A and B are shown apart, each in its own frame.
Chain A
Amino acid sequence: MRRFLPIAILLCWMAAAVAVPPTGIEYPPLQYTLPKPERIVLPNGIVLYLLEDHDLPLVDVEVRLRGGRLYEPADRAGLSAVFVRAWRNGGTLTRSPDALNTAIEDMAAILDISDDGDTLGISLSLLARDWRRGLELLADLLRNPAFREEQVRLAKGQVTEQIRRRNDEIAGIASREFAGFVYGTNHPLGRVPTLQTVQSITRQHLLDWHRRLVTPRNIWIAVTGDFDRRAVLEELRRLFGGWKGGSPALPVIPAPKEQPAATGFIAKQADQAHLRIGHLGVAYGVPERAALDVLNYILGGSFTSRLTHEIRDKRGLAYAVWSSIAPANPRGLFSIGCQTKSESAEEVIQLIREQVRRLTEEPPSEEELQQAKESLVNSFVFRFPTASDAVSAQMLLEIHGLPRDTYDTYIARVQVVTAQDVLAAARKYIHPDRLRVLVVGDGKKLARLAGQAQRLQAR
């Protein structure tokens, strides 16, 4: 594999010179329309997104709720991780875990519950012929989960094992501890579960958590695929229409505090140093989002970025170098990541610092700007690989309180970005004087760096 693809980069693919496509090729105009689901609100507050798509005899269902580890209490960190496992595996009031799993897998269906930070998602992939049975099982698990004691114990045990293993891979340490280093280890986005907090979780906590979150006013359901709209809508009304419930009770998440520039060091036996550099980033829905996408493309969000050019191509110092300005609730991270052999760590940190500073000192060149904008605009057709991805993304806009036409206007918003807009966004959101640098690597080989840094421990 030639290219390292960090999962952190969601949006962003960048930078500068004359392209020489062969002469004489003409490109016909591209017709693309974002798949548009129908939106229906049930009287109890459940929001439905429906889109028929008859390409293949498959149906995808996604239920989404506000919730997730962001909202769990500090003394029970890990609650949400245990919750989604015990929910998925714990069966329902009338179906044992085994009966539920057999019913699902006999249809070759895939049912998962995931904690996505500030939301929870239940996804169900079905063969089209099974949609009715699938929806019924999903509704049962959603409304009547049993959280059987045996499965709660299993979930706690598995999350505990993951905690024991979380320092095995150096990349895992770097990502997790960088969040702690920027957000603070007490902020929900920076703290981590411990053996003790997970141990303290009981079945009752999970039942209470379910009662707090899973209420019609906190539920969005997307159905995409090969079905008849009328029949599915009728069935959804039957399954969910009579469900009553109040508003979800989610705590308000405090804004993380800005921190001054610092360098932290965590010792881990390794050939490479793992570097993370950055500071607090942006919330969802900042007006400069398109300019930030352009900026990130130029910095390190693409394979033609400044960072890739300076660190990988010109000097061969790394396989992986990237940047991200992804939004999060309540604040995202501005982060740059790189892995390089220990001997090159200081040089790479210096190169990264220079590139960050450059962003705030001068606008990008016209060539870089055009490269980034054309790339973002022309690649928009790939943003949602399937119809169900497009539906889920539009549903998520509503959950995050963003304008529902965000994707419809995206291309136009990128097209108007100027070099001065990019510079202004950089000056507003990128702070070379506040960079927090985390180095994870070999204490001996990196002795000089470690000596000047704050010593931290991997939690």
Chain B
Amino acid sequence: MRTRSIVLAVICLCAIAHAQTNFAERVVEHRLSNGLRVLILPRRQSPTVAFYILHRVGGVDEESGRTGVTHMLEHMLFKGTTTIGTRDYEREKPIWDEIERLRDQLEAERARGDAADRERIAQLQQREQELLQQVSQWLIPQEYDRIFERAGSPGTNAWTSNDVTVYTVSIPANRLELAAWMQADQRSHPVWRQFYQERDVVLEERRQSVNDSPEGALWEAFMATAFLVHPYRNPVIGWQDDVARLRTADIDRFFRTYYAPNNTWLAVVGDVDPQQTIALVEKYFGSIPAQPLPQARIPAEPPQRGIRRVVVKMPANPQMLMGFHKPNAPHEDDVVFSVIQGILTRGRTSRLYRELVEKRKIALSVSAYSVPGDRYPNLFVIDAVPRYPHTPQELEQAIWHELNRLRTQSVTEAELKRMRTWAEADILRALRSNEGMAEQLLWADAVLGDWRELFRSVERVRRVTAQDILRVAKKYLHKDNCTVAVLEPAPEAK
């Protein structure tokens, strides 16, 4: 009986390793002559495909005064091309050009603030409305989305982070060629139509996710405090005034610089034939010319010399964040942090959950993660919500107590073993969806430098020792390397 269960266990371990190897071996990589990198993972689970595109450009690549341009560009790519979204681009174009000249005057007048000539602004706006009315006869509204939705895509989307921009399309497998054509066209002949309406949309997005959101407002203040110099300090959506001043020339320049095929990754995961897929990608993306990429001039964050604190007051209950500077993946200390994160906050057996939530009942919840990206040294963050009448200060003390334990006493073998099992399970669960897999392949290849890193994570976690945790905790999890942000309740403005 005993022997049998051991044998069984070995078989089962193999099943997991087998599943991983099986997937890893199925990944097909290819590079177009213009530099575009293609990763394909065929799987026949359902007749669907995730067709994801990553451009290695994010908030970190923006110049000061133009924060938010990456995200704005992401929005604009859905406004169509010279063939999509228009009845006759040649008739449409001169009207947009005129709107642009009008905007030169309008934005300059507005920039004068209180001294601005309101009557003149009203006149210019009136004229713009007329032009928009005029141009509308040539537009086919939302055509990009119409085509994709009609083909069965459950909604196309995209997201921008501090590191990268990712466009996400899922489509029934028989429409693969449509997806390839649409996404290539989107990158070959984009038109920045309705830019100023979309800029207003983004400003609404900002109001919603930052101005009126206690969590969003606290986050913005936290990042800007933890990073003094490195652009990880800037919000991806951009600072309000920067966004409000963006012009089509800004996104056009950004697009031409960073959406080059040699700065682009494509992942196709799902019910596809790799060779056919490569042929399609060659056919539609092959003619986009490569171009030299600019040398990144991103200043390193200087070492932190002492605790930093920031307070945000809003009419809401308290929350808190603690952040510690740390190296980014694939630095060997990064994986140690992923183990620390698990030991501190993963599940109901984790240290901070047991101590703060269950035993002392001073927290509603506590979690930890690494942010905001992996291209540059980043932050290990502990995020905690106090339970009335307990305060963020009490939480901070309790967290320091646990961090001190981590710096002075070895974690247990049982804890390490649990983290190794989680790492195995995580990769399997990530493999469940085409979309999740596409995103992870892109991230590992474009940011970490090799998609295989994904399948190495289990091995990396396995190598982490109790000694590593002591060393890393001592090195990074101390007060002089810490930023604390606290949301304090303020009365409602009457």
> Contact residues of A with B, CB < 8 Å?
1-5, 13-22, 25, 27-32, 55-58, 89, 97-98, 101-102, 104-108, 125, 127-129, 154, 157-158, 161-162, 164-165, 168-170, 226, 267-272, 302-304, 308-309, 312-320, 339-341, 370-371, 374-375, 377-382, 385-387, 443
Contact = CB atoms under 8 A, between A and B. Distances in A.
A379 B152 contact: yes
Contact of A57 (B15, B150, B182): B15
A30 B174 contact: yes
B78 A2 contact: yes
Nearest to B175: A27
Interface string B1-42: 000000011001101101100000000000000000000000
Contact of B155 (A13, A370, A443): A13
Nearest to B316: A168
Contacts of B13: 129
A160 to B, nearest CB: 8
Given A19-B150, A20-B84, A170-B212, A382 B48 contact: yes
A29 B174 contact: yes
A383 to B, nearest CB: 8
Interface string B181-218: 11000000000001011111111110110011111000
Given A158-B364, A304-B146, A375-B150, A1 B159 contact: yes
A42 to B, nearest CB: 27
A169 B174 contact: no
Given A22-B181, A129-B12, A161-B364, A303 B424 contact: no
B46 A381 contact: yes
A158 to B, nearest CB: 6
A320 B347 CA distance: 33
Contact of A303 (B18, B149, B203, B358): B149
Contacts of A102: 349
B170 interface: yes
A308 B212 CA distance: 22
A30 B197 contact: no
A299 B421 CA distance: 47
Interface in B325-365: 346-349, 357-358, 361, 364
Given A105-B349, A304-B142, A371-B150, A385 B201 contact: no
Contacts of B175: 27, 378
Contact of B428 (A30, A127, A268): A127
Contact of A129 (B15, B151, B316, B361): B15
A18 B47 contact: no
A108 B12 CA distance: 14
B152 A381 contact: yes
B400 interface: no
B95 interface: no
B105 interface: no
Contact of B19 (A14, A56, A385, A386): A56
How would you classify the secondary structure of chain B's contact residues: helix, strand, loop or mixed?
helix
Given A20-B84, A57-B12, A385-B433, A272 B425 contact: no
A128 B15 CA distance: 9
Interface residues of B, number: 95
Given A20-B83, A313-B194, A168 B214 contact: yes
A36 to B, nearest CB: 14
A183 B417 CA distance: 51
A302 B204 contact: no
A375 B149 contact: yes
A132 to B, nearest CB: 10
9 contacts: A16-B141, A20-B83, A22-B178, A27-B174, A58-B432, A127-B424, A165-B317, A318-B201, A340-B204
A108 B172 contact: no
Contacts of B432: 56, 58, 385-386
A101 B204 contact: no
B134 interface: no
The 6 closest A-B pairs by CB, nearest first: A378-B152, A129-B12, A316-B200, A316-B197, A108-B425, A168-B316
User: Which among A318, A319, A371 has the highest number of chain B CB atoms within 10 Å?
Assistant: A319
Given A13-B155, A316-B196, A57 B16 contact: yes
A4 B158 CA distance: 11
B201 A319 contact: yes
Interface in B159-181: 159-160, 170, 172-175, 177-178, 181
Interface in B462-494: 492-494
A164 B143 CA distance: 45
Contact of B141 (A56, A89, A313): A313
A271 B208 CA distance: 8
Contacts of A303: 142, 145, 149, 155-156
A270 B211 CA distance: 8
B149 A371 contact: yes
A57 B361 contact: no
Given A269-B493, A382-B48, A25 B172 contact: no
B335 to A, nearest CB: 17
Given A313-B142, A386-B433, A157 B83 contact: no
A32 B385 CA distance: 45
B315 to A, nearest CB: 6
Contact of A316 (B182, B198, B346, B385): B198
A308 B154 contact: no
A308 B142 contact: yes
Interface string B406-424: 0000000010011001101
Interface string B96-136: 00000000000000000000000000000000000000001
Contact of A56 (B317, B348, B431): B431
Contacts of B305: none
